[in-house]
Amino acid sequence: MFGDADSLLYVGGGFSSVSHNARRRHAQPQKCYIERFMSAPNSIFVRACKMEPVERTPVWFMRQAGRYMSEYRAVRKQHSLLEICRKPQLAAEVTITAAEILAVDAAIIFADLLLPLEVMGLPFHFAAGEGPVIERPVRSEEDVAFLRTDRTADLGYVSQAVSLVATHFAGRVPVIGFCGAPFTLASYIIEGGGSRHYVHTKKMMYNSPTVWDELMRKLVAVTAAYAADQVRAGADAIQIFDSWVGCLSVEDYRRYVLPHVNGMVKLLQKTGAPVIYFGTDSATLLPAMNETGADVIGLDWRIPLDLGWQTLEHRCAVQGNLDPVLLFADWKELKSRAKDILARAGQRPGHIFNLGHGILPETPVENVKNLAHFVQEHSAVAGSKGSPEPGHRSPRS
């Protein structure tokens, strides 16, 4: 179990959980998380994550709560992004609102990827037009040694928001928790923000591999404890976002990243919740990503879904993978592309429909709503071996 006082240690190539009561509990049989904490373990989303047969394809969207929605923009007029993240009632409100408006099959908690950096001693802010700025980039062994791993409990506001969302939906809609992958978080804190070439990040990997490994261990310790707390609060799955991993060669991924993601996935799977691992521009990395043992691998739009799944040897479930820009297309084109993805999945158990990345700010809301409904309707008809083409549904209010 991962309590607020727990910490995570990297020992001999693996991770173990310890707390003040660990020695006392060690000889006692541990209860399974799935019965105690997950809010909707029998939902079609969770079952699809486990590659179990479902009556239709579940659908949700990355960044489904965002600026493209007027309801979210209204909240943002009163509060900054970080204020919403830090106030459980607000984070729960925008999470619930988006899931209900879109009528999707899962709600992903509203939070920011970089929140764990604050408790590690790395303040950051958002600069207009530039994105996140890390105020003290990590570039040396001394910088890495400075990072703390003992303040994960300070992120409890995210778990509180998860609990509020889970209570609201009362098992009707599963809740997805999430965290950043160690490479993506490392690239942010080393570069000081976003980057095109990741020069400082790769310099540390190549020139100071011991320092790099220590940084990755600390990031995994904090983010794994943070994500496990979300499961304890009611999250039904955890998505690990590796947004920038596509900048790596296969060799570099295997050498500098894979061992750490392996440990993180195994640790989170002890919670009983399925683990989704997603990276962008990662088609060349899929065989290596498959070795993480994640329950679900997220595919971006750069590889056909059937080819991506075949590359993964159908070991796991897959999520994806519509190009987010297709949500700007007319309905005929959008529907055709969605049908193609469903056809490529071939009704094989383990497909979760999603985009290949997050919804863009100017996306028409009606297109997102109608896409969610179409996937639900079309996959249900196809699954029942009825007419493969449901009637076109007029936009919902």
Compute the distance between CA of residue 12 and CA of residue 112 in angstroms, rounded to an integer.
Answer: 31
Set 6, 105, 112, 295: catalytic member: 112
- Other Cβ atoms closer than 10 A to 55: 11
Set 4, 76, 254, 337: catalytic member: 76
Locus of tokens 């570039």: 139
Compute the distance between CA of residue 25 and CA of residue 2 in angstroms, rounded to an integer.
Answer: 12
Compute the distance between CA of residue 153 and CA of residue 119 in angstroms, rounded to an integer.
Answer: 9
Give the up-direction half-sphere exposure of residue 83: CA atoms within 13 A in the CB hemisphere: 6
Compute the distance between CA of residue 381 and CA of residue 387 in angstroms, rounded to an integer.
Answer: 6
Give the up-direction half-sphere exposure of residue 108: CA atoms within 13 A in the CB hemisphere: 20
The amino acid occupying position 73 is: R
Give the DSSP H or E segment for 376: helix 365-383
Question: Strand, helix or coil at 218?
Answer: helix
Distances (CA, A) of 221 to 96, 163, 260, 307, 308: 29, 22, 10, 34, 30
Tokens of 393: 């549904």
* Residue 24 annotated to the active site: no
Set 10, 33, 68, 188: catalytic member: 188
Set 67, 255, 315, 337: catalytic member: 67
Please state whether beta strands 351-355 and 131-134 pair in parallel, antiparallel, or not at all (unpaired).
unpaired
Burial 375-386 (b: 16+ CB within 10 A, else e): bbebbeebeeee
* Residue 76 annotated to the active site: yes
Give the DSSP H or E segment for 2: none
CA nearest neighbour of 152 among 185, 105, 116? 116
Locus of tokens 């990662």: 282
Set 56, 63, 217, 232: catalytic member: 63
Give the DSSP H or E segment for 370: helix 365-383
CA nearest neighbour of 87 among 118, 66, 106, 110? 110
* Residue 63 annotated to the active site: yes
* Residue 112 annotated to the active site: yes
Distances (CA, A) of 76 to 84, 85, 86, 388: 8, 11, 13, 41
* Residue 67 annotated to the active site: yes
C-beta of residue 64 within 8 angstroms of C-beta of residue 98: yes
DSSP 395: P
CA nearest neighbour of 155 among 133, 132, 177, 176? 177
Query: Which active-site residues does the annotation give?
Result: 63, 67, 76, 112, 188
